[in-house]
């Protein structure tokens, strides 16, 4: 995914977790993670800053499950 695609998908992801009655602390943790990710200074680093954040997200997601 690109960073833009990740930014679009995260809203649906967190909403789906909520709709499926995931524990509130899980939903809150993911929402907070996405806020931090979208405001991270790496996003402004070129040429690979956004891609680094996408890779980091993928690693966190793998470790979560």
- Torsion angles phi and psi, residue 21, rounded to 5: 60, 35
Residue 5 has pLDDT above 90, yes or no: yes
| CA-based end-to-end distance of the chain | 19
CB of 27 within 8 A of CB of 19?
A: no
DSSP reduced 3-state for 49? helix
Q: In which band, very low, low, confident or very high, does the pLDDT at 34 lie, cut at 50, 70 and 90?
A: very high
- Name which of 45, 24, 21, 27 is nearest 10 in CA terms: 27
Say what the pTM is.
0.79
């Amino acid at each position: 995914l690109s960073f833009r695609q990740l930014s679009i998908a995260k809203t649906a992801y967190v909403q789906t977790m909520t709709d499926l009655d995931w524990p509130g602390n899980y939903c809150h943790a993911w929402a907070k993670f996405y806020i931090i990710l979208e405001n991270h200074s790496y996003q402004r680093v070129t040429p690979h800053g956004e891609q680094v954040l996408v890779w980091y997200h993928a690693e966190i997601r793998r470790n979560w499950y």
